[in-house]
Chain A
Amino acid sequence: MMLNERKRKWFDAVVWSVSALFAAGLTVDAAHADSHRYAVDNAVYRAECGSCHVAYPPALLGADSWRAIMQGLQQHFGTDASVSDAKRTEVTAYLVGASGGKRSAATPLRITESQWFRKEHAEIAAATWKRPVVKSAANCEACHRQANSGDFSEHSIRVPR
């Protein structure tokens, strides 16, 4: 009798903890997908690449795109962005490891070329993109004020006048 009761308590405890963990997991996943917050957490990447442009979240391009970009740094969108071999190896490994990969079948070299980017920005007028403070679609921070820390969430958007 005592034994059975104890067993049931254990069973209950296990069932509850498993479902709690499961629920927590689901919530975290959902939050991740909707919040537009991405991890950008490699110091060498942030220093070497993030000096000239936003340290774009690795998750926004596929592994092949990052590999192609990192192999062509000597002619990187019109400038020589080459880094030492050691740094190139480290940054490539980081970007590939944290890459998104399912964004498109092609291998775009610009995040802004992807279908989902255009869809996400469909409501932005052409004139807005041309404002001097925006300058370029590469300038995420013009509107996504926390872009450099990977936060592209709705509440940190402020479109400049």
Chain B
Amino acid sequence: MNLRFTAAMSATLLLAFASASVAQVPTDYLKSLETAAHAAEPGFAGFSAQRGRAWFNARHGTDWSCSTCHTEDPLTAGRHATTGRSIAAMAPAANPERLTDTAKIEKWFKRNCGDVLGRACTPAEKGDVIAYLTSLKR
């Protein structure tokens, strides 16, 4: 087995590995959202990607919805509604870095929920939208 072949083999294996371990939403973060959602609403029956999709595309009392900047197809790149700056795709299937870092997720919920809802998002809303974004496949 020559060196080049070995190198090619390792590269292929590495690639296979990388794509197999697609981004994961931190499980303790999801758990904490679930616990908080239960506490807020005793009848809470789990997060829903379907609800998340409708919520993502709907407006909530301001000029913007999530989809205003992130588009109604989160597998594609979006664009900031004011500045025009390009925003990488939101769905982890298109952008494996998304939703992998709890601090980052919370930072953006804080900022964007303020812009879109004029208030903080509830744990149920956060869980639903995460369920929606992670349900999308290429």
Contacts and interface: CB of A to CB of B under 8 A. Distances in A.
Interface string B78-108: 0010111111000000000000000000010
A125 interface: no
A85 B114 CA distance: 19
B85 A141 contact: yes
B118 to A, nearest CB: 10
B95 to A, nearest CB: 13
B31 interface: no
A49 to B, nearest CB: 11
A115 to B, nearest CB: 23
Contact of A79 (B84, B107, B115): B115
A138 B82 contact: yes
B65 to A, nearest CB: 15
A78 B85 contact: no
A80 to B, nearest CB: 4
The size class of the interface chain A forms with chain B is 10 to 19
A141 B80 CA distance: 13
Contacts of B84: 133-136, 138-139, 141-142
A77 B84 CA distance: 14
A136 B111 contact: no
Contacts of A83: 107
B114 A52 contact: no
Contacts of B86: 141
Contacts of B80: 52-53
A148 to B, nearest CB: 8
Interface of B: 80, 82-87, 107, 110-111, 114-115
Given A52-B83, A53-B80, A134-B84, 12 more contacts: A53-B83, A54-B85, A80-B114, A81-B111, A82-B111, A83-B107, A136-B83, A136-B84, A138-B82, A138-B83, A141-B85, A142-B84
